Amino acid sequence: MQTYVALLYSIILGEGRRVVMSDLKAMAEGLGLKNPRTLVATGNLVFEARAMDVAKLEQRLETAFEKTFGRHVVIIVRRAEDWLKLATGNPFPAESAETGDQVAVRVMRKPAPADGVAALQAYAADDEKVASVDGDIWVVFSRERPSSRLLAASNHKRMGIGTSRNWNTVRRLAEMVRGIGGTVSLLPY
């Protein structure tokens, strides 16, 4: 059995309707996925399944989601070892330790184009940072500005299909993948 992390692009089904995590877990169980568990109400699912092609698993989940909830949602899946690599590859450990909610990664279905990531620098405020690690886009957002131009600049049309999670979520999902009940730091801080 292989452990996987699935990230839903959106849990909004329509005006005033959100995916209930117990319903998401039930959908996963209906697909034969083992031990499905969620992390708060943010569209993150960890489960076990026989080893299979990630793209096929994404398609199975997306099809089941649309059938269950009546709306297509992009779902990005990573194997446990790939998720742990993503978490330990965080290029902003100091910022993550200080303000984990201001550091985010856009987890990409296919690696973001290098020239596109480089172009994001033009949208970053003076106190923001952007880096690409293995095709995923890491950002340190400004504490001073309530909205960042980086969000709009890193859209699907420019970068490809992806979904963002802040460092706190990335870290907690890594702990779930490892089967750790308590808090364990992935970085030396």
Domain 84-178, CATH among 3.30.530, 3.30.420, 3.30.70, 3.40.190: 3.30.70
pLDDT of res. 41: 74
Domains of the chain by residue range: 2-83, 84-178
pLDDT of res. 11: 66
Average pLDDT value for residue range 11-39: 85
Looking at the chain, the whole-number percentage of residues with pLDDT higher than 90 is 66
CA angle 58, 61, 63 (to 5 degrees): 105
Angle between helix 54-69 and 21-30 (nearest 10): 120
Q: Which residue has the higher pLDDT, 64 or 14?
A: 64
pTM of the model: 0.88
Half-sphere exposure (CA, 13 Å, Cβ side) for 2? 16
Average pLDDT value for residue range 30-36: 96
CATH fold match for the domains 2-83 and 84-178: yes
In this predicted structure, the answer to whether residue 55 has a pLDDT above a threshold of 90 is yes
Half-sphere exposure (CA, 13 Å, Cβ side) for 12? 4
pLDDT category, 14, cuts 50, 70, 90? low
What's the pLDDT tens digit per position in 108-155? 999 999 888 889 999 998 889 999 999 999 999 987 766 788 878 887
Over the chain, what is the mean pLDDT?
88
In this predicted structure, the answer to whether residue 16 has a pLDDT above a threshold of 80 is no
pLDDT category, 186, cuts 50, 70, 90? very low
CATH class of 2-83: alpha beta
Identify whether the C-beta of residue 2 lies closer than 8 Å to the C-beta of residue 81: no
pLDDT of res. 13: 62
In this predicted structure, the answer to whether residue 54 has a pLDDT above a threshold of 90 is yes
The strand order across the sheet containing 129-133 reads 129-133, 136-140, 103-108, 162-166
In this predicted structure, the answer to whether residue 7 has a pLDDT above a threshold of 70 is yes
Q: Closest Cα partner for 120 from 78, 142, 150, 83?
A: 150
In this predicted structure, the answer to whether residue 188 has a pLDDT above a threshold of 90 is no
